[in-house]
Amino acid sequence: MKKIISWLILTTVVFASPVFPAEGCEGKTHACRYETVRIRELPVSVQCWTFRKYTFVESLDKIRALGVRYVEAYPGQMLGGKYKDVPFTPERVTDEHIRWVKEELARRGLTLVTYGVCNWENTEEATRAYFEFAKKLGIRTLNTEPRFDDFTLIEQMVREYDIRVAIHNHPKPTPYWDPQTVIDRIKGLDPRIGSGADTGHWMRAGVNPLAALRRLRGRITNVHLKDLNAFDDPGAYDVPFGTGAGKIRSILAELTLQDYDGFIAVEHERHEDLPDPSDQIRQGLEYIRSVTHYQDFEQLLGRRNGRYHKHGWNHYGPGHFELDEKSGVLKGQGGMGLFWFSAKKFRDFVLELEFRCEDHYTNSGVFLRVPDMPVSDDYIHRSHEIQIDNASRGIHQTGAVYDAVAPSSLAFHEAGEWNHYRITFRGMRLTVELNGVQIIDWEAGPRGKVKSIAREGYIGLQNHDSRSPVYFRNVFVKEL
């Protein structure tokens, strides 16, 4: 923001490859400092094989009781209820059965997202039957272990139905226990064909799950997340997440670094814990929550089929933000203008985002509680801006509440490096952390250019000019 002619802006975000690197991990494809990674909230499903002593609908009740919303079904489990003798397979279920399954899911507030591990013959009729089955049920991913080498028909159906395929790994000596086999088999194919990474089976086979995930970067379409009591032991068994040898936190960090956009499926297989390992699963889910930095946050850039979009955002004033749909990185162009999240207003919230300056003179800002839809420059007098401007000083420098409060210390990185803002607005108390250092703690109110401040409003990001653009990514907000 410059002098009195400021403009606003606020949120944006992320995607695949090395787009979310934390300090020490930028651009790395090998071991990095996983402990510094801010782990995203990855969507969790439960594989019904976990409750294989029950029918499908009985499994749904178990999954719902765990507080999980997503389901991965497997072939052969009996449907239960009035169809207790009907196995859940494309060969046996009818449209009537499918309607009933969808009703049972909806009644419990659950969504069926994945099906497998399944196999079919390498014919168009057999392949299409599974994809048609998945389409009718709204299944997003088919988890499979093909018994053939030619994936031509699989790729054809993936493109026709827009349904992902995950090549599943079981332990040695099954065909895909070695991740390199999967890499070789899917090379050059549609990116929706990838690995159905099972971290437990890798561990039993002596394959380091972290190394395997890094090798498969960008080609993982489903994950069976497991923690085992031992590594490189065919007899190793499942234990709650965080209590075994599986390095679960590091795995979640690696998936975050890859901007993985699929599900992590819980599949607890230990025979001694049957018929109902719910207690072990609850313990593991609590561990995942405890290490998830963005637990209960909302990512403000939408994403579908691996591509980010700007739905829910609007722009006021000159210029615009370019969005890299693959990485979720926003680049300011022209200006000054305001890219604001118009889908909802926020009252008390925590906002976290990353920004990068093209050079020392890059100018931008994050606007908070813009009270109304911007139709004039009046919003700059009725909302606070957290400044981005390394070249200025005091109340106009990076980290300042623009024209109001100077940062208590200079915590910004040099141009070209990513910075992290954590901004908390509760009541009128405004705190700002920059790169882990608290630099603002202020009871907000009118000051400087700001004549009034609302109790709730929109979040916005400022584009200032094209000569030294600003970049944003990983924009998350949590309402308090």
Phi, psi values for residue 447, rounded to 5°: -170, 145
And the tokens for 30? 């090998």
Whether this model's pTM surpasses 0.95: no
Q: Which pLDDT belongs to residue 335?
A: 82
Residue 14 has pLDDT above 60, yes or no: no
Q: Which pLDDT belongs to residue 25?
A: 53
What is the separation of C-alpha 201 from the centre of its chain, rounded to a whole number of angstroms?
24
Q: Which pLDDT belongs to residue 305?
A: 81
Locate the domains of the chain by residue range: 39-292, 302-479
pLDDT tier, 306 (very low <50, low <70, confident <90, very high otherwise): confident
pLDDT tier, 32 (very low <50, low <70, confident <90, very high otherwise): low
Q: Which pLDDT belongs to residue 232?
A: 96
Average pLDDT over residues 12-37: 50
And the tokens for 190? 């549609």
- Among the listed residues 355, 385, 389, 404, the one whose alpha carbon sits nearest the alpha carbon of residue 457: 385
What CATH number should be reported for the domain whose range is 39-292? 3.20.20.150
Q: Which of 31-35, 127-131, 170-174 has the lowest mean pLDDT?
A: 31-35
Higher-pLDDT residue of 43 and 335 is 43
Average pLDDT over residues 412-430: 97
Q: Which of 2-11, 66-75, 382-391 has the lowest mean pLDDT?
A: 2-11
Inter-residue contact 316 to 340 (CB < 8 Å): yes
Residue 169 has pLDDT above 60, yes or no: yes
Q: What is the CA radius of gyration of the chain?
A: 25
Task: Tell me the per-residue pLDDT of 41-82, one tens digit each, with 9 for 90 and over.
Answer: 999 999 999 999 999 999 999 999 999 999 999 999 999 999
The share of the chain scoring above pLDDT 90, in percent, equals 91
Average pLDDT over residues 268-297: 97
Higher-pLDDT residue of 18 and 146 is 146
Whole-number average pLDDT of the chain: 93
Rounded Cα–Cα distance for residues 168 and 175 (Å): 9
User: Was domain 302-479 assigned CATH 2.60.120.560?
Assistant: yes
- Among the listed residues 79, 81, 72, the one whose alpha carbon sits nearest the alpha carbon of residue 118: 72
pLDDT tier, 5 (very low <50, low <70, confident <90, very high otherwise): very low
